[in-house]
Amino acid sequence: MDDPASALEVAIENGTAVIGVIGLGYVGLPLIDAFATSGFQTMGFDVDQEKVDRLLAGESYIGHISADRVCELTGSGQLIPTTDMARLTEVDVIIICVPTPLSESRDPDLTYVEATTATIAEHLRSGQLVVLESTTYPGTTRDILLPLLQSTGRVVGKDFFLAYSPEREDPGNPDFSARGIPKVVGGIDPVSQKIAEAVYGKAVVSIVAVSSPEIAEACKIVENTYRSVNIAMVNELKTLFDRLDIDIWEVIEAAKTKPFGYQAFYPGPGLGGHCIPIDPFYLSWVARKAGSSTRFIELAGEVNRSMPRYVVEGVTRALNDQGKPVRGSRICLLGVAYKKNIDDPRESPAFELFDLLGKAGALLSYNDPHVPKLPPMRHHNVPDLTSQELTSEYLASQDCVLISTDHSVYDFTFIVEHAPLVIDTRNACHDVVIGREKIFKC
């Protein structure tokens, strides 16, 4: 069959297409699992040899992908993990799931995307589909990926195919796996669109076809900006209601009984994860380039970034009420993952809390059953700490326990019983009856 598009469509339809995923992290590995569950042969590419070695050894480094599942995939040969990018020639579909962080000046840092695309271009062969899933600003697929891939002399829509489909992972949510979340797909041309829809249609519950990669890129940013702005609103209301001695959590519980026109968002010690603290600023950057402004987005970012400092001020007040300064006080952070019941600490507000409390002279420790050792973070001076066991003796030895992540495994009644002071940033202790005088909501 001479037509590359037809040949790829046939391979997708009969399940013989090989799916390659670049980036074996919290997005890439679940995506591989989704395609493998649908019967496809997969290859996983990563520059981190340790990740590849752990997968080959049957280990999982992501909480919601079990070691048994990894063993099943690698043992059967359905997943081949590798750091050898030359093997990209062996796959029919190449899906890019690499990080897209912000620079120090909060501009998009597409270093990983550009380097990955350049590598793909070196090994690009006729009949391959390339899909970017990494969150980015509208125009990235057309303005960055397309020129690099066409520099090979191959023509998009004829020799190779290109699309954008934003990742929509929600780690820790048992109701939605990668297979169960509708997939937005925007092809660079009609042929690319048709092929991208076909391949994702084999692995996910439904396809949301859009008219261009720019629409798909903007869609992802809108989703996360919506959340960022609404979380900022409740964070700001929290600081106001604290002054008025009004419980924001009770207000939200009352408001969400309205069956229309309201969606509940909740305050916290700050934003975490790779998406919400970062993605809206991609849109701000695009606006500046277009000579416009995004005041809501910028203000939301300010409010959300201020929350760790607000929490530390609350810790200071609560300790002062007990006649203790922050300097020299033993403070345990409870939970360092960016949200409950996951093992992902990326951009977690806990690290800003570590920074601020450490500079104030606190003696810090932490517990997180999902994060046994604090990992390095590019924007923080992370202390060399391991998770401490939550014994009654340990809790009693602390001057303050600061709840930054409310994992379901925590027994908050036990924690309040044995800790002298509990700072609750998540309303985690709402059902605790005994010892409520020790709880300081912040």
> Which residues are designated catalytic?
275
CA angle (243 as vertex; 242, 246 as ends), nearest 5: 50
- Do 283 and 294 contact (CB within 8 A), yes or no? yes
For residues 315 and 163, give the distance between their C-alpha atoms in angstroms, rounded to a whole number.
Answer: 48
For residues 86 and 122, give the distance between their C-alpha atoms in angstroms, rounded to a whole number.
Answer: 8
- Starting at the edge strand found earlier in the chain, the sheet holding 330-334 runs 363-367, 330-334, 400-403, 422-424, 439-441
Q: Which two tokens stand for residue 72?
A: 């099943």
Side chain identity at residue 166, one-letter code: P
Closest CA to 41 of 87, 78, 96: 78
